[in-house]
Amino acid sequence: MLIRYGTDKFGRPVKKAVVYTKNEHNIPKEKIDFDAILIINRLKDAGFHSYIVGGAVRDLIVGNTPKDFDIVTDATPSKIKRLFRNSRIIGKRFRIVHVVFGQKIFEVSTFRSNADGSSVGNEFGTIDEDVLRRDFTINALYYDPIQEQVVDYVGGMRDIKKHVLRPVIPLDRIFTDDPVRMLRAIKYSAKTDAKISFSLRHKIRANASLLSQISPSRLTEELLKILNSGCAAEIVGEALDTDLYMALQPAATAMMYADKKFESSYMQNLVKLDELIKTSPDARLGQKLVFIIKDFIISLTDWKKESECHTAYGELYTKTWTECRNFVLPMNPQRTELEFAVKAVLTELGIHGKIVQRRKKGRSKQEKN
């Protein structure tokens, strides 16, 4: 274990961070994307500091394989852009760089400052400032894959080992700055088996209503992450306990509060979803949506009677799709995926048929000829 020192305002040495070596963090280098290492190498060769940061480091330490590798550096966006032809600068207030390798996109951002007192400020800063903007200690670790060292400013390594979820930003503003952090808290807790303290849980419940300020597109993104996590049942259980699921799925939450049988079946379907993710991680979104709309569709009508009465399939499908579209709000999945899910559930209920497309009035000149 190494110690990184800085100086205080009087020039005296001050301990800044703990640096864990390869034998202490045990991160297998083969689990790190080669292109992420290439990006860091090129930045370092150009004289800049650069690290993998956040969830990727957390996942590597606990033995999981990260899906994304976010990178931070002291290079400004324009300098990053000059180093990588396969990159583009995005963002208006705080610009970051996307470096593209085929289907893979790596987010490369410049260290941010917290000089304005906000954890969502848009000024460039140093790594010492950047770490204080991270939400939780387990996400505030910086990994240098070249030196194979983990730099820990806030005790994140210790918290990972102890399975503790501890905020970096003070509790009085962590969620007011960005309410989505409440969703991340319960997600990280489930994925890393980290305990949420009483004070943190109380703060989440007290601020749950702030999620109503978040745009539907961002809530959709967060819900899709939950569905793809492989531990959706546990995360949704925490979201219900902390009053957060009402913002994500208000219709489903209301039905669960009103009917314990619906709640039990809904949660059982989420367990089945988690099993699907483990066995078929590349399953299309429509297959996953089946598990959150199935119970709702069953509650809509007497499907056995509908089958016996030979109700037109097109009519049943259209009404069911419309009801499901409203049921999953504010989530806004791709139309084709929700259509797939609705058709799959109807088939499972014994409702078969094809949707007849109406031809437009009038014929083309070619048809007339």
DSSP-derived pairing of the beta strands 149-152 and 13-20: antiparallel
d(CA 158, CA 164): 9
Alpha helices of 193-312 — where are they, by DSSP H? Answer: 198-207, 216-227, 232-241, 245-248, 250-258, 260-279, 285-300, 303-308
Rounded-to-10 torsion of CA 44, 56, 289, 238: -140
Q: Report how far Cα 100 is from the mean position of its chain's Cα atoms.
A: 20
d(CA 45, CA 94): 25
Cβ neighbors of 108 (< 8 A, separation 6 or more) are 39, 71, 72, 73, 80, 87, 96, 97, 98, 99
Catalytic annotation present for 159: no
Cβ neighbors of 150 (< 8 A, separation 6 or more) are 19, 20, 24, 25, 27, 57, 61, 141, 142, 143, 144, 157
Catalytic annotation present for 259: no
What token pair was written down for 4? Answer: 């990184």
DSSP SS3 for 73? strand
Burial label for 43, CB within 10 Å (0-12, 13-18, 19+), is buried
d(CA 290, CA 344): 7
Which of 35, 68, 241, 243 does the annotation list as catalytic? Answer: 68
Which of 33, 59, 130, 135 does the annotation list as catalytic? Answer: 135
Catalytic annotation present for 144: no
DSSP SS3 for 141? strand
Which of 33, 59, 70, 152 does the annotation list as catalytic? Answer: 70
CB 41 within 8 A of CB 24: no
Radius of gyration of the chain (CA): 25
Helix or strand run (H / E) with residue 142: strand 141-144
DSSP-derived pairing of the beta strands 141-144 and 195-196: unpaired
Q: Please give the positions annotated as active site.
A: 68, 70, 135
